[in-house]
């Protein structure tokens, strides 16, 4: 039975990934800031031991290593999904504030910390996939509207980290996917998003399934359609 570790599993895309992977028979370690308050996540528990909740705050750089002390065994899919968009770092004039440091920590550095903490467990699994939940807003080529300083920079940094991870983990047969989920109607995406979370997640999981034993997919930035996005 494959095992996934998903961060930001209490709502939005992470919650939906947990739901769909449980339906597909996976075992899930669902990491979130406050498991006690994660009522929607707890409601997914099939009661057969396949869902475990763990406390994880991506703003704490020691959290990934601490989590690795508590999670045993091979991890087929390490999904660094948790992310944030700080309102105060959006517009020109005052964007360079302390929230941007948190945004960089949560969106860029925390996924690297997870990869460092869990690489051995991913390498010991059958599927060996690390997925990074990036965003097309991290594409410099695609930036035609400006603004969103903290979010864009943090996702561009995540993309750079994902590329290096793909090269550094290649010898261990780990495939690193850098993913854009589409514009999705979640708390972050808002009500005008182009698709629902179930639609986005179903397409992302199909893409991830296609990456099994496909080193040529590692270190690439994918739309859910499977199309390569420009950096
Ligand atoms: N929705 C879109 O259109 C879209 C587009 C492109 C990329 N994305 C990316 O997709 C990912 C999921 O976004 P979403 O749409 O599902 O957003 P969401 O509904 O706002 O959910 C964000 C998730 O990240 C978690 N999170 C935020 N800060 C955290 C921290 N310090 N430690 C641990 N968890 C933290 C949240 O937990 P709390 O409940 O504790 O805050 C929540 O589980 C993000 O990386 C986002 O950048 C989304």
pLDDT tens, N- to C-terminus, the chain (231 residues): 899 999 999 999 999 999 999 999 999 999 999 999 999 999 999 999 999 999 999 999 999 999 999 999 999 999 999 999 999 999 999 999 999 999 999 999 999 999 999 999 999 999 999 999 999 999 999 999 999 999 999 999 999 999 999 999 999 999 999 999 999 999 999 999 999 999 999 999 999 999 999 999 999 999 999 999 999
Is 231 inside any structural domain? no
C-beta of residue 103 within 8 angstroms of C-beta of residue 154: yes
Q: How far is the CA of 13 from the centre of ligand 1 (A)?
A: 7
Does residue 83 have its Cβ closer than 6 Å to ligand 1? yes
Is 228 inside any structural domain? no
Please state the atom number of ligand 1 nearest to the C-alpha of residue 85.
47
Residue having the nearest C-alpha atom to atom 42 of ligand 1: 8
Q: How far is the CA of 171 from the centre of ligand 1 (A)?
A: 31
C-beta of residue 201 within 8 angstroms of C-beta of residue 16: yes
> How far apart, in Å, are the Cα atoms of 138 and each of 69, 85, 155, 170, 204?
32, 12, 4, 24, 18
Boundaries of domain holding 197 = 3-223
> Which is it for the CA torsion 228, 178, 206, 192, positive or negative?
negative
Is 207 inside any structural domain? yes
C-beta of residue 71 within 8 angstroms of C-beta of residue 29: yes
pLDDT score, position 220 = 98
How many residues are there in the chain?
231
Is 82 inside any structural domain? yes
User: For position 132, which CATH number holds?
Assistant: 3.40.50.720
Is 64 inside any structural domain? yes
Is 21 inside any structural domain? yes
Does residue 109 have its Cβ closer than 6 Å to ligand 1? no
Residue having the nearest C-alpha atom to atom 43 of ligand 1: 8
Question: Candidates 15, 19, 79, 82: which one to mutate for ligand 1, based on the most atoms within 8 Å of Cβ?
Answer: 82
Does residue 153 have its Cβ closer than 6 Å to ligand 1? no
* Residue 106 CB neighbour total at 10 angstroms: 22
Strand stretches in 56-121, DSSP E: 77-80
> How far apart, in Å, are the Cα atoms of 56 and each of 29, 31, 82?
11, 6, 10
Q: How far is the CA of 58 from the centre of ligand 1 (A)?
A: 11
Query: Domain count of the chain?
Result: 1
Is 230 inside any structural domain? no
Q: How far is the CA of 219 from the centre of ligand 1 (A)?
A: 22
Please state the atom number of ligand 1 nearest to the C-alpha of residue 151.
47
Q: What does pTM read for this prediction?
A: 0.98
């Amino acid at each position: 039975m494959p095992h996934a570790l998903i961060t930001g599993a209490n709502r939005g895309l992470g919650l939906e990934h947990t739901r769909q992977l449980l339906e597909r028979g996976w075992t899930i370690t669902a990491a979130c800031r406050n498991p006690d308050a994660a009522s929607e996540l707890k409601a997914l528990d099939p009661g057969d031991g396949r869902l475990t909740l763990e406390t994880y705050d991506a703003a704490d750089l020691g959290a990934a290593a601490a989590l690795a002390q508590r999670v045993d065994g091979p991890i087929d899919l390490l999904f660094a999904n948790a992310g944030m968009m700080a309102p105060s770092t959006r517009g020109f004039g005052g964007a360079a504030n302390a929230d941007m440091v948190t945004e960089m920590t949560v969106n860029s550095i925390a996924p690297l910390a997870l990869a460092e903490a869990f690489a051995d467990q991913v390498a010991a699994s059958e599927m060996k996939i690390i997925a990074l939940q990036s965003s097309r807003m991290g594409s410099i080529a695609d930036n035609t509207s400006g603004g969103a300083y903290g979010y864009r920079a943090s996702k561009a940094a995540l993309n750079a980290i994902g590329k290096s991870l793909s090269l550094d983990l290649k010898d261990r047969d780990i495939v690193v996917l850098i993913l854009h989920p589409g514009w999705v109607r979640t708390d972050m995406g808002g009500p005008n998003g182009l698709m629902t979370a179930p639609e986005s997640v179903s397409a992302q999981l199909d893409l991830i399934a296609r990456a099994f034993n496909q080193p040529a997919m590692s270190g690439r930035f994918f739309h859910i359609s499977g199309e390569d996005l420009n950096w």
